[in-house]
Amino acid sequence: MTETLVLRGGTVVDASGSRVADVVVGDDGRIAAVGEQSEKLSADRELDAGGCIVSPGFIDLHTHLREPGKEEAETIETGARGGALGGFTALVAMPNTTPPMDSVSVVQEVIALGEPALTDIIASAAITIGRAGEELAPMAELAKLGVRIFTDDGTGVQDDLLMKRALEYSVGLSPFTGGASVALAQHCEVTALSEGTYMHEGEWSSRLGIPGQPAESEELMVMRDIALAKSTGARVHFQHLSTAGSVELVRAAKAKGIPVTAEATTHHFTLTDAACASYDTVFKVHPPLRGDADVAAVKAGLADGTIDAIATDHAPHCAHDKERPFDAAPPGMIGLETALALAITELDLPIETLVGLLSWKPAKIAGIDDVHGGPIAVGRPANLTVFDPDEAWTIDSNSFASRSTNCPYEGHEVKGKVRHTVVHGEAVVIDQEAQR
Amino acid sequence: MTKHLLSIDDLGRDGIEEILELTKSFAEVSARRIPKVPALRGKNIAWLFYEDSTRTRLSFETAAKRLSADTMNFSVSSSSVNKGESLRDTCLTITAMGVDAIVVRHRSAGVPWQITKWVDASVINAGDGWHEHPTQALLDCFTIQQRFGSLEGRHVAIVGDIKHSRVARSNLAAFTALGAEVTLVAPQTLLPPSLEGWNCKVSHDLDAVLPTVDVAYMLRMQLERQKQALVPTLREYTAGYGLTEQRLDNLGSETMIMHPGPMNRGVEIAPSAADDPRAVITNQVANGVSVRMAVLFLLLGSGGDLGTLPEPESVQPDDGDAR
């Protein structure tokens, strides 16, 4: 833990640009030196970064760690290990656990369980009690514990007035956050239009006889929350945008200066609803995989900054839970260990843009940019990812650290692999191996 | 023919025609004094019906018995399913007893495909959600062929709740594969959200379509559709899309009236239409047995001839169900 490290021979990329430099990490867990004269920079341990990008560690705004409540599918320990192997140094834990993270005691438990994990575990908390959309959770108490993202993820807050109140209330939480702002993250889905649906509504749902969820189920809530963000001045973060219409709405809102941010998952820019033709429940996810035009719009949104972050929506499920009929199987797919490779393989983006989508932009949304997301500079906490953008590999979920294998990319050939991950100065992944 | 019967598209025109040709032989068997052959003796078929079905299950059961197959019924309501057993475990359990085929009906689309990944037995789709009901389509093709000789160039209207209908999806695929033209007639709310790639015409005007068709295929209207606001009232549905007594005059003298059953008399079909001489609804049921014999024989038979059973005086006791 207290050994010093040098990451040698890589290309350092952070918000200020890229340059070839070695990075020395001190025994205090902070960056001690960044320089080009490698021979002069020595440390207890030397990690080869030749041919690699050295970037600020990745932040996943959207991880389901399943603990407490569904530890057979994932635990904080195993999820964090998978995250570290995927280059993440912080995971924002979603609150749809059992019991849900809607109270001080459960959030404290998650924070405590996260202490020994390989990555930082950032607790989010529910907007409403039990994520039931009826009464507000004690947001100030939760903010005091460090919560900066509130979300009922898995469902959207349906009640317009309750959502408006939550946003209004969130504006006044600064006494409990040391002045920091919080964001309300919305899973946009109007349930009146989505209840009893299991895939995207369109050509494929019509053909397959599976009840479909229309795009407007998502878009109507995006519209509403843009209006509420505008009137309240509160920060709204849109989770897992999946339709072309949603991307366009967010683009227009940002152009008007409305305080909204957005994420897109790896699966919403790599897969379409056509995958459901196999009736393989690994492709069942919320929001559902959409059409080709939606995938193109999400990619364009990532490229032009409309969408701020790539998130995984890592949603582990036991094999026996997925071995149900398509309508009865739980939605979700794992993603921590494939996100970087899919982003590199499927998105044609400059490396600085891509790293920003994975690190400093989500770090800011999560309110952890004092610790994560760079810059890679002397004195900053050493949360770093070293990855080879060109390494080709074949996705095999059985090799993953996650307890679950519901990966929709089995056998896909991709490129881009994490070599080392450093969390608070500790090399938790070295040469693609988790160290504990 | 492949190992499973999952969808009409899997069969293609050749596969459909092969089954229909063989169905003729089994229709002949069905007409015998003792309608039973030993073709599937020793084969074991499991009925896995997760959704209520009387006619399809009885039809399959009759077909299996006429082929001398053994059958076992997995009764979902009184079984381990109610104790929380997964679909996969249920399938593994019944195949462990040694079954050659599973005939499955499930309210969820795609279940027959899922089962093929878990078991070695042949899987026959007896209806999956809104998706497919291939043996219904085959028996309907056979029924139309009986009247017209061929579907080539014939015009079929499929009328009613297309969106929620596995019969509509399978029949459209089968009718068009055999060269028929199909017009779907329904209110917009009862059509699928997208008809991209569907080989058909669409109309909201039943009165304009009826005089042009050789077959008026009426679908069952689920009474709960009214509650889902898919139609304002059943009365309005019947007025717009039902085969009412007045509309019978609008039909050609040779036009066939078909319905997959069970009928809601007075809703999608008037009693006088169901009982009209042009209606072939009971023929459909009779043909269902022969078509399902052909399907079971093709999937499970050794490929040899049907064999013959001895005449009644020498029938063995274990063939008692032939009497």
- CATH code for the domain of A233: 3.20.20.140
Does the CB of A291 have a partner CB in chain B at under 8 Å? no
Q: Does the distance separating the beta carbons of A320 and B86 come in below 8 Å?
A: yes
| pLDDT, mean of residues B265-275 | 97
B147 & B211 share domain? yes
Question: For B86, which of A202, A278, A324 is closest by C-beta distance?
Answer: A324
B60 & B191 share domain? no
At B228 the pLDDT is 86
Does the CB of A45 have a partner CB in chain B at under 8 Å? no
Checking if the pLDDT of B202 tops 70, the result is yes
Checking if the pLDDT of B162 tops 90, the result is yes
Q: Does the distance separating the beta carbons of A201 and B196 come in below 8 Å?
A: no
Amino acid at B96: A
Residue B88 designated active-site: no
B233 & B178 share domain? yes
Q: How many domains does chain B have?
A: 2
At B54 the pLDDT is 83
Checking if the pLDDT of B319 tops 90, the result is no
Give me the total of CB pairs closer than 8 Å, taking one residue from chain A and one from chain B: 70
Residue whose C-alpha is closest to residue B155's, from B235, B245, B216 = B216
Q: Does the distance separating the beta carbons of B193 and A205 come in below 8 Å?
A: yes
B246 & B301 share domain? no
Residue B56 designated active-site: yes
Residue A190 domain boundaries: 54-365
Provide the ipTM: 0.91
The pTM assigned to this predicted structure is 0.94
Which of B106, B131, B133, B292 is the catalytic position? B133
pLDDT in single tens digits along all 436 residues of chain A: 578 999 999 999 999 999 999 999 999 999 999 987 656 677 899 999 999 999 999 999 999 999 999 999 999 999 999 999 999 999 999 999 999 999 999 999 999 999 999 999 999 999 999 999 999 999 999 999 999 999 999 999 999 999 999 999 999 999 999 999 999 999 999 999 999 999 999 999 999 999 999 999 999 999 999 999 999 999 999 999 999 999 999 999 999 999 999 999 999 999 999 999 999 999 999 999 999 999 999 999 999 999 999 999 999 999 999 999 999 999 999 999 999 999 999 999 999 999 999 999 999 999 999 999 989 999 999 999 999 999 999 999 999 999 999 999 999 999 999 999 999 999 999 999 999 9
Chain A residues with CB under 8 Å of B110 CB are: 208, 210, 279, 325-326
Checking if the pLDDT of B318 tops 50, the result is no
Residue whose C-alpha is closest to residue B63's, from B104, B98, B35, B96 = B35
CA distance A90 to A68: 18
Residue B27 domain boundaries: 8-133+288-311
Chain B residues with CB under 8 Å of A199 CB are: none
Give B321's pLDDT tier (boundaries 50, 70, 90).
very low
Q: Which residues 168-227 of chain B have a CB within 8 Å of chain A?
A: 169, 192-198
Q: Does the distance separating the beta carbons of A324 and B109 come in below 8 Å?
A: no
Digit-coded pLDDT (tens) for A152-198: 999 999 999 999 999 999 999 999 999 999 999 999 999 999 999 99
Does the CB of B119 have a partner CB in chain A at under 8 Å? no
CA distance B56 to A133: 44
On whether residue B89 sits in a domain, the answer given is: yes
On whether residue B321 sits in a domain, the answer given is: no
Cβ–Cβ contacts within 10 Å for residue A370, how many?
10
Which of A313, A321, A369, A388 is the catalytic position? A313
B146 & B266 share domain? yes
CA distance A244 to A292: 10
B53 & B140 share domain? no
How close is the nearest chain B Cα to the Cα of A208, in Å?
A: 6
Residue A398 burial by CB count (10 A; 0-12/13-18/19+): exposed, middle or buried?
A: exposed
Q: How many domains does chain A have?
A: 1
Chain A residues with CB under 8 Å of B105 CB are: none
Does the CB of A319 have a partner CB in chain B at under 8 Å? no
Residue in B closest to A324 by C-alpha: B87
At B322 the pLDDT is 39
Q: Does the distance separating the beta carbons of A327 and B108 come in below 8 Å?
A: yes
On whether residue A9 sits in a domain, the answer given is: no
On whether residue B56 sits in a domain, the answer given is: yes
B152 & B127 share domain? no
At B79 the pLDDT is 60
Helix axis angle for B8-30 and B281-300, nearest 10°, is 110
| pLDDT, mean of residues B128-143 | 98
B207 & B276 share domain? yes
On whether residue A94 sits in a domain, the answer given is: yes
Digit-coded pLDDT (tens) for B210-257: 999 999 999 999 888 878 889 999 999 999 999 999 999 999 999 999
On whether residue A244 sits in a domain, the answer given is: yes
Give B281's pLDDT tier (boundaries 50, 70, 90).
very high
Checking if the pLDDT of B169 tops 50, the result is yes
B171 & B142 share domain? yes
Does the CA dihedral A263-A265-A269-A271 come out positive or negative? negative
DSSP designation for A286 = S
At A1 the pLDDT is 52
Does the CB of A202 have a partner CB in chain B at under 8 Å? yes
At B225 the pLDDT is 82
At A160 the pLDDT is 98
Residue B83 designated active-site: yes
Residue in B closest to A276 by C-alpha: B110
Contact assessment for residue A1 and residue A348, using Cβ atoms and an 8 Å cutoff: no
Chain A residues with CB under 8 Å of B130 CB are: 209-211
Question: For A209, which of B114, B169, B198 is closest by C-beta distance?
Answer: B169
Digit-coded pLDDT (tens) for B95-104: 999 999 999 9
Proportion of chain B above pLDDT 70, given as a percent: 91
How close is the nearest chain A Cα to the Cα of B35, in Å?
A: 37
At B313 the pLDDT is 45
B115 & B65 share domain? yes
Q: Which of B7, B92, B107, B111 to mutate to test the interface with A (most CBs of A within 10 A)?
A: B111
Chain B residues with CB under 8 Å of A323 CB are: 86-88, 114, 118
On whether residue A422 sits in a domain, the answer given is: no
Chain B residues with CB under 8 Å of A206 CB are: 192-196, 198
Give bridge partners of residue A388 from the DSSP assignment: A417
Digit-coded pLDDT (tens) for A77-135: 999 999 999 999 999 999 999 999 999 999 999 999 999 999 999 999 999 999 999 99
B35 & B175 share domain? no
CATH at residue B32 = 3.40.50.1370
Q: How far is CA B106 from the centre of its chain?
A: 14
Q: Does the distance separating the beta carbons of B108 and A328 come in below 8 Å?
A: yes
Checking if the pLDDT of B312 tops 50, the result is no
Q: Does the distance separating the beta carbons of B129 and A278 come in below 8 Å?
A: no
Cβ–Cβ contacts within 10 Å for residue B314, how many?
8
On whether residue A412 sits in a domain, the answer given is: no
On whether residue B18 sits in a domain, the answer given is: yes
